[in-house]
Structure 1
């Protein structure tokens, strides 16, 4: 039972971690990784500083020990010199005392030299450790610099990816395969406009081909024909009146004085509009049809 519970717990943990990684912001994860690298780099720097500080402390202790050894050596030599001088002067008791003092200095000198040798060995190890620490800090600094450059590159790629995703969404919204949403696509709007235009054209064709439309065309044709006949009668009357005036004035009946047509038109009817000639032509054609 405990094994099953452990398996379920591990499965749920793995599933939760996977979902979290899918939903997590990549920028935040990159910043977290950089912060962790910086924290580790700071810890390494502090450790390297302690190693180098230990080396410097050993060097200071070695300097003091060297001074102590030098002082003990000088003291022992002075005691031996005093002992030799007292022995030369026949002062054996003083010579023995100086001899004992020199022996005591010599004992301390031996202990000091032994301690100095130990310090030198420790200092050599400290120097090697300091070199390793400096190298580790330099390597980690270069690694952190590379990670910062990688962070900048990844952020740039993320921005490009986001831009391409937006462009893809925009292109998908303009395509015909986009599912229906809150905002209609251009293809849907074009389909609606074309459908409306086609329906309007169909209604216009139906209205144009109906009985009322044909009756209206016949009425218009009849009106145009009557207008043309009336214009023809007016023109014939104008010609007859001009001939009578010409006979009275001694001119031949077939010749019309210059400007007579304009005078007659001014007395009888207003000048025809530019569209009257077209209507007259159409009316004469329509009027000739029933007579034939």
Structure 2
């Protein structure tokens, strides 16, 4: 369903977290948590309908219950992201699709049917695709998804087959930007910035011991398992969040993940603390 991403960055993945692969597609979302590696490689192929698990995204937006109407209503999508679940059947399975539509209209949950009938790997997550924005899906699916009123099921056809899709929630599109070390340094001269901004250093403790910047909370990437699930307890997704590492690679991985978790505005420190030392403050050691 999703277009091939142009993103390529150094990342490998924990093998026990990888989902079944459809070899002809690659997701634009970085899977997480990544391992730290020294050699840049392209992101591996991942199934187009399985970006992440529903428990990390649904949050306070419960799955709708009861009858669900079918709609062809449309909107322009604007600068929003939508939380989508779907099921997929083959192009020749129109009769099955009609029967599934009937069962949904009678109150059966789309996610339950996805587990049983969908041919998309997202069936393992009840058909959950996660938060998506425009430009990440093939046109037919995108048009249907961004035209669908909340909680109403829409039927559409793409080159992959027939889809029944449901938009569970929507939110303002989050932003991810690079920030130059010089600009970060300028901001850090204001004590209010240090107090109000959310500053995250994802390097390992031994690296932080060699060089660090004031105000940054250390969340080592290799320890993601201990802090990833509680990130929203310690940090406010509505506040500006700045992520730092050695050269800007690991921090970009984490910044993309924070964006996927609903953080509204995330900044990746371009070039990392090394660039900060070389371009801004030579008193910060390089290593």
Decide: shared fold, TM above 0.5: no
* Greater fraction of residues in helix: 1
Q: TM-score, normalised by structure 1?
A: 0.17
Q: Which of the pair has more CA radius of gyration?
A: 1
More contact order relative to length (CA 8 Å, sep ≥ 6): 2
Q: TM-score, normalised by structure 2?
A: 0.17
